[in-house]
Structure formats: structure tokens, C-alpha cells
Amino acid sequence: MTAASPQTAPALADDARASRAGMIRRVVQGDLASLRVLVGLAVIWLIFQLQNDRFLSATNLTNLMLQITAVGLISVGVVYVLLLGEIDLSVGQVSGLCAGIVAVLNAKHGWNPYLAITVGILAGTGIGLLQGALFTKFGVPSFVITLAGLLVWQGALLRVLGETGTVNINDSKITGLAGTFYSDTVGWIFAAAVIGVYAGGTLWAWRGRVNAKLADTQLGGPIFRIVVVSGAVIAVIAILNSDRGLPLALLILVGFVAGMQYVATRTRFGRHVFAVGGNAEAARRAGIRVDVIRIAVFAIAGTMAAIGGILAASRLLAVNQSSGGSDLLLLAIAGPVIAGTSLFGGRGSVWTALLGALVIGSISNGMDLLALESSTKFMVTGGVLALAVIIDALARQRRQAAGRI
């Protein structure tokens, strides 16, 4: 191999500097939000570990995974609403109401648990369809419709629970959703499956770009992502196996996130959601049925809220008057925004539901370990959300200045 000539060395240096500058520009403009979130998550974990050495223990990390499941599932639906540039303020109360329906049907009326769960999920879908139709057909802002829904569904939960105010869940089929853990062997099989699917999908996408003669077809990037994801998956499974094993709740969360990500990025419906969120009028002129897309998205949000509420009830073994309340709505919306889904619509990923829930859950879990007061927890969480919104707004301004939107 011949050494680089004096003429080529400066060119190589310029290319390296341009690559670094491009990376920084993409981070600033929000294109590499996941990288920013992962760095932030590492910093959060380091801070809490220095304050309390139990934070990164296998037991606490397993508890963390269980704690973020409900919020993560609700956030999946929130991501779709945010992609439209809209907001759903009712998802917290919808989750509590649907969980209450399941608990009452099963515990008080003796319904089969699977049938009760089905009715609870369908109730969430119906609520989403209703709110989406009201928002679409009457032109009322989504935050107004869903704010009214927040109050209505809170009252409905109180009516469903009745005078007792609390319904305990004892059916093993329902409690098992959050209480089932799989063996080490199952955990490693799951890890191998995830790594195999991710590696295959990444290399297949790279091959397609090469065949299409698109830019940026170097193999180094895909290989690096495969190595990073593989290492993360192996580490997670090793930690979980050292405690109670792989939780079913985590499988449910990852399954929904991966499935809804596929819908968002690989189907016509998903492309239409991004189009409507980017420019509704342009989407309408292109022949997209904007009203149908909007109603369907709110139905998805209601459905995912119901599923998240049922998982929360499974973990807590009960539904009460405060179910779906407190800071659940804030966490469900803050997570995706913190992880990079834009409040302005048209930009984001369903994976931000998982990443955001992990960030928010880590902050909450760490403050619980430090025994901080609730007032401090609310202020810190609100401050993180405000910072994420500011970063999103700045990134949007950068893209506008660059002429990209």
C-alpha cells in the first residue's frame, strides 16, 4: 500500500473535519436525538449511582423496567398523536378508566380475565375514536377535546369503581402480566432473536441503499450500530437474568414499540401519518384522507392507553380512584418529547416512547432511592420536559434556517 501523497493528506483531513462538523450539525438539528438521549441517560445513571450505589444493582434495574412499562405503552400512542402535531391530554385518565373496567368485570362480576381485558382495550379504542371524531368533524382543537375528556373519563372511573373506591385484582392471569419472569434460557433466546432480527434488517436496508446507488452506503455505520445494539441487548439480558429473569411486561413493551415502529415507517398508513403531521393541507391535496388518519391515530392512542393502564393495574394489583392520575400524563407526554419526537408534528420515532420512558423512569426511580420529596420530583420532571421542548424548538429553528422545512 502506498503512502498518501502530500496533496491527498489535506483532503483527507478536510473530509474528517467535514464529517465531524456534519455529525455536530445533525445533533443540533435533532437528526441524532437518540444519540443525545443515550448520552444523557448515561449521565443520569452515573449521577444516581454516585449518590446511591444500589441504583445500578440488578434488582433496581429490573424494578425500573417494570416501572416504565405502563408509561412506555401509553407513550406509544402519544407518539402517533405528536406526529400529527396534536396532543391528547386524556390518555392518563383513559388508562385508569379502562383498567377499572377490567378490574370490575373480573373481580366483581366474575368475567373471564381475557374477556375482561378485551373489553377494557376496546373501551380505550372507542374513547379514542370518539375523541378523534369530535376533534376532526367539529374542528375543535385537540387539546380542548381531550382536556374535556380528561374530566369526563375521571368521573367515569369514579362511577365504575363505585362506593368502595378500590378494586383489588387477584386473578393470576391479569397479575401475571407484570408478575411473570422467564428463565435464563428464554432470556438468551430472546436476546439472540432480537440481535438477529436487528442485524438482518439493518444489513438488508444497507443492501437496498447500495443497489439504489444512494449516498452514505459505507458499511461501517451499520456494523457499528449492530455492535452497539448487540452489546446493549446482551447487557440487559445478563442483568435481568442475574435477578428474577426476563419479565413478560418488558416483552410486551418492546413488542408493541417494535410493531408500531414498523407500522409508522414501513406501511402506507405510517407514511400518511408523517405526511399529515408535516403539512395537512399538502397531504389533503395529495389525496390522503386526512380526517380518517386523524381519527385512526386517536383510536391508537386510546388503545395504547388502555393497554398501559391494564399493565399498571397488573403491577399494582389494584385499581383505585387515583389510577391514571398524578404525574402519569406528564410522564407519558414528556418521554417521547425528551427522546426526540417533535411537538410540531412530522418528526419522531416510536422508539422514543421506550427511550423517553427509560429516561423519565430513571429520574423518578433515582429520586425515589434518594427519598426526595414529591415537590422536588415534580419540579425536576417539569424542568426536564421544559428543557426538551426548548431543544426541540431550537432544532426546528435550525432546520428552518437551513431550508429543510
Q: Where are the domains of the chain?
A: 54-180+268-392, 184-244
Contact 381, 368 (CB under 8 A): no
Query: Would you state the pLDDT for residue 230?
Result: 94
Residue 113, Cβ neighbours under 10 Å: how many?
19
Look at residue 404 and tell me whether its pLDDT is greater than 70.
no
Taking the C-alpha atoms of residue 269 and residue 288, their distance in angstroms, rounded to an integer, is 10
Contacts for 114-118 with beta carbons within 8 Å, 24 or more apart?
Answer: 114/173, 116/174, 117/174, 117/310
CATH number 1.20.120 is the correct assignment for the domain at 54-180+268-392: no
pLDDT of residue 211: 84
Give residue 60's identity as a one-letter amino acid code.
N
Burial class (CB in 10 A: 0-12, 13-18, 19+), 82: buried
Confidence band for 32, pLDDT divided at 50, 70 and 90: low
Please give the pLDDT value at position 374.
81
CA distance 184 to 206: 33
Q: What is the mean pLDDT of residues 384-392?
A: 76
Give the predicted TM-score (pTM) of the model: 0.88
Q: Provide the grid cell at 28.
A: 443540533
Residue 119 reports pLDDT greater than 80: yes
Per-residue confidence at 405, pLDDT binned at 50, 70, 90? low
What value does the mean pLDDT take over residues 141-145?
93
pLDDT of residue 182 exceeding 80: yes
- 293-334 residue pLDDT tens: 999 999 999 999 999 999 999 999 999 999 998 788 988 998
Residue 75 above 80 pLDDT?
A: yes
N residues, the chain: 405
Span of 19-33, 256-270, 390-404 with lowest mean pLDDT: 19-33
CA angle 264, 198, 256 (to 5 degrees): 45
The chain-wide mean pLDDT, for the chain, equals 87
43 CB-near residues (< 8 Å, 6+ apart) = none
Q: What pLDDT shows up at residue 16?
A: 45
